[in-house]
Amino acid sequence: MYAPRKLAAAFLGTCPWRRYHRRHMGISVREALSKVHGSTKDIKIQGWVRSVRAQKEVLFLHLNDGSSLENLQVVAEPSLKNSAISFGSSVEVRGTLVNSVGKMQKVELKAEEIRVIGECDTKDFPFKIKEHHPPEYMRQFPHLRCRTNAFGSLLRIRSEATAAIHQYFRDNGYVHIHTPIITSNDCEGAGELFQVEASNRDTAPGGDGEFFGAPAFLTVSGQLHLEVMSGGLSKVFTFGPTFRAENSQSRRHLAEFYMVEAEVSFTENLEDIMQVMENLFKSATTSLLSKCPDDMNLFFKYVSLGQEGRLDRLITKKFIVMSYTEAIEILKKVTDSFKHKTEWGCDLQTEHEKYLVKHCGDVPVFVVNYPFDLKPFYTRDNEDSPRHTAAAVDLLVPGIGELFGGSLREERLPILQSRLETRGLADTYQWYLDLRKYGSVPHGGFGMGFERFLQCILGVDNIKDVIPFPRFPYSCLL
Ligand code: 4AD
């Protein structure tokens, strides 16, 4: 038997790539582009060909591996040209990284060897070199659209935004909680649930597909589970997938989306919660502008002209606050401009939300104290009259409308108990009542739709273009 080291030596001894395994350092395009001084020998880069230009005396390739928007220029002897090197093919290039003499790039890879890893049939490949593909076209190819500049940038921004949001909460003393995806509660009480059943009814416990012995659903919000945890850890957050069976084809609704939720104990003011929302929004946006300027610029240049200035306003201006009652007064003055009713007591529709933001000079607006009857059972009663309101808040932003929804939660046991009894929910939510029975504290929190956040800062019109695999009625590709 060979010892592992002997086995490796035996393999390398027969391997045609032996010298490369020993000598060439594999680096990403991003790393290569950041090396600006002198030349570095024995470099290996793997990626996809974005362009091929063969001249009489030199062959130029542009390589992208998804690590940056910018491609790496490869310069090679024409003898290295091979018909399999085409737009879309995957290659491995070995050579020396040198300062470029061209004006378009600082460094380039002088190739000694080009190996095609995977060929690409450019005739059938849905994306064509140097062609602009509209988002609706790209959406048909969720398995290939990450090869385009625009979607590559979006995915890097999405990844940075996720990190920035986690960083904000870490910096401010919040504990991250993994709230469950499968749950037995309908947090929002709106009945927009996907039910979870075992696909094999014969072998599942209970024999009727009801695996858990009771109806189970995909979560519509992690709020109630976060409330549990804020009852011991004070400041908590969750950031995960959320599911709603809303029959909507709108540009701001998905059946599966990501929600950022926070819950804060020992707070009696909606203003405290609103301050966290505003800080989170501004901190995540500022971080993206500094961490991925090239990717952000692609959106400012090609997707939403003028977006850079609009973003600047969102970061620097103090957000505006108005009550629901004031909002209705504003809307009633232009009631004919809307399809939906604008009476006190009606829910605000997207058209109303967008109007309110415009009315406030395109600065985000907090609308507070909504009619009590519009809000879910957990919202704190303001106990006012004749217009009965609850301590709820929505943050409305330009181009989108509602981005955050939050509230103070009803922490008073007798009030919550009687509300749940009236709705016939007291038995189901016994555990929720327990939270008020044992060391209850005033608390509140919010949820922010992550895709709507991306739409808002990048100026993307359709929510389906800011998530890798959009799910909506009649569409669950892949
Ligand atoms: O206003 P919502 O329904 O609030 C809640 O679910 C609270 N339980 C959150 C909390 O307090 N912890 O949803 C929060 C946000 C909305 O403001 C919106 O941005 C986004 O989630 N959202 C959606 N995003 C995409 N597609 C959908 N179908 C969405 N529904 C809500």
Tens of pLDDT, residues 224-250: 999 999 999 999 999 999 999 999 989
| 270 shares a domain with 174 | yes
**Distance (Å, rounded) from C-alpha 327 to C-alpha 356?**
7
Decide which of 95, 125, 155 is a domain's last residue. Answer: 125
- Considering the domain architecture, whether residues 27 and 173 belong to the same structural domain is answered as no
Helix (H, G, I), strand (E, B) or coil at 174: coil
CA of 406 to the centre of ligand 1 (A): 9
Whether 373 and 231 map to the same domain: the answer is: yes
- Structure tokens that stand for 43 in this block: 């470099």
Please tell me whether residues 325 and 435 are part of one structural domain.
yes
309-337: pLDDT as tens digits: 999 999 999 999 999 999 999 999 998 88
For residue 97, what pLDDT is reported?
Answer: 94
pLDDT recorded at residue 472: 96
Q: Could you tell me if residue 264 is inside a domain? A: yes
The average pLDDT across 166-194 equals: 93
User: Which residue's C-alpha comes closest to atom 4 of ligand 1?
Assistant: 405
3-state SS record for 195-245:
EECCCCCCCCCCCCCCCCCCCEEECCCCHHHHHHHHHHHCEEEEEEEEECC
Query: How far apart (Å, rounded) are the C-alpha atoms in residues 169 and 276?
Result: 10
Boundary of a domain, candidates 125, 157, 191: 125
Check residue 39 and give its pLDDT.
Answer: 82
Residue in 221, 231, 157 with CA at minimum distance from that of residue 193: 221
pLDDT at 12: 43
100 and 236 assigned to the same domain: no
Whether the pLDDT of residue 170 is over 70: the answer is yes
Q: Which atom of ligand 1 lies closest to the CA of 263?
A: 12
Q: How far is the CA of 223 from the centre of ligand 1 (A)?
A: 10
352 and 434 co-located in one domain: yes
Q: Which atom of ligand 1 is nearest to the CA of 403?
A: 19
The answer to whether 156 and 454 are in contact (CB under 8 A) is: no
Q: Is residue 412 assigned to a domain?
A: yes
Query: Taking CB atoms and a 6 Å cutoff, what residues make up the pocket around ligand 1?
Result: 187-188, 221, 223, 244, 246, 253-254, 257, 259, 261, 402-406, 445-449, 451-452
CA of 405 relative to ligand 1 center, distance in Å: 6
Q: Provide mean pLDDT across the span 429-438.
A: 97
Model confidence at 8: pLDDT above 60: no
**Shortest-distance Cα residue to atom 22 of ligand 1:** 449
d(CA 303, CA 322): 32
Tell me the best of 237, 260, 452 to mutate to test the pocket of ligand 1, counting ligand atoms within 8 Å of each CB and taking the most.
452
Q: What is the mean pLDDT of residues 115-131?
A: 93
Closest C-alpha residue for ligand 1 atom 26: 253
CA 194/CA 201 separation, integer angstroms: 18
* Domain limits for position 272: 145-181+219-465
Q: Which of 118, 156, 108, 130 is nearest to 50 (CA)?
A: 130
Domain for residue 7, yes or no? no
| 349: number of Cβ within 10 Å | 16
Say whether both 38 and 152 belong to one domain: no
Pocket test for ligand 1, best of 221, 367, 374 (most atoms within 8 A of CB): 221
Q: How far is the centre of ligand 1, averaged over its atoms, from the C-alpha of 35 (Å)?
A: 44
| b/e per residue 231-266 (b: at least 16 CB within 10 A) | beebbbbbbbebbbbeeeeeebbbbbbbbbbbbbbe
Q: What is the pLDDT of residue 255?
A: 97
Residue nearest to atom 31 of ligand 1 (CA): 449
Residue 6 lies in a domain: no
Q: How far is the CA of 104 from the centre of ligand 1 (A)?
A: 44
The predicted structure's pLDDT at residue 189: 81
Here the tokens at position 74 are 């490869």
pLDDT score at 81: 87
Regarding whether 393 and 249 lie in a shared domain, the answer is: yes
Ligand 1 atom at minimal distance to the Cα of residue 248: 28
Residue 394 alpha carbon, nearest atom of ligand 1: 17
Q: What is the residue with the minimal CA distance to atom 9 of ligand 1? A: 447
Q: Any idea which residue has 């009894």 for tokens? A: 421
Ligand 1, atom 28, lies closest to the CA of 253
Q: Is residue 239 part of a domain?
A: yes
Number of domains within the chain: 2
**Which DSSP string do the residues of 398-414 spell out, in sequence order?**
TTTEEEEEEEEB---HH
pLDDT band at residue 203 using 50, 70 and 90 as cut-offs: confident
pLDDT digits (tens, 9 = 90+) for 125-152: 999 988 889 999 999 999 999 999 999 9
Please tell me which residue, 200 or 234, carries the higher pLDDT value: 234
pTM of the model: 0.93
pLDDT higher at 336 or 120: 120
**How would residue 92 be classed by pLDDT, with cut points 50, 70 and 90?**
very high
Same domain, 109 and 233: no
Q: What is the mean pLDDT of the chain?
A: 92
Please identify, by atom number, the ligand 1 atom nearest to the C-alpha of residue 448.
15
Closest residue to atom 1 of ligand 1, CA basis = 405
Which atom of ligand 1 is nearest the CA belonging to 406?
A: 11
C-alpha of residue 385 to centroid of ligand 1, in Å: 28
Residues 223, 315 within the same domain: yes
pLDDT at 22 over 90: no
Q: Where residue 26 sits, what CATH number does that domain have?
A: 2.40.50.140
* C-beta of residue 369 within 8 angstroms of C-beta of residue 382: yes
Do 83 and 170 lie in one domain? The reply is no
Q: Ligand 1 atom closest to Cα of 223? A: 12
Percent of the chain scored above 70 by pLDDT?
95
pLDDT band (50, 70, 90) for residue 478: very high
1 pLDDT band (50/70/90 cuts)? very low
42: in domain: yes
Which residues partner with 259 through β-bridges? 240, 449
* 224 and 83 in a common domain: no
Give kind and range of the element (H or E) at residue 187. none
Looking at residue 205, its pLDDT comes to 79
- Residue 15 — very low, low, confident or very high, per pLDDT cuts 50/70/90? very low
Atom of ligand 1 nearest to the CA of 445: 11
Query: Is there a domain that residue 214 lies in?
Result: no
The answer as to whether 413 is a domain residue is yes
CATH code for the domain of 442: 3.30.930.10
- Residue that terminates a domain, selected from 125, 154, 172: 125
Asked if residue 11 has pLDDT above 70, the reply is no
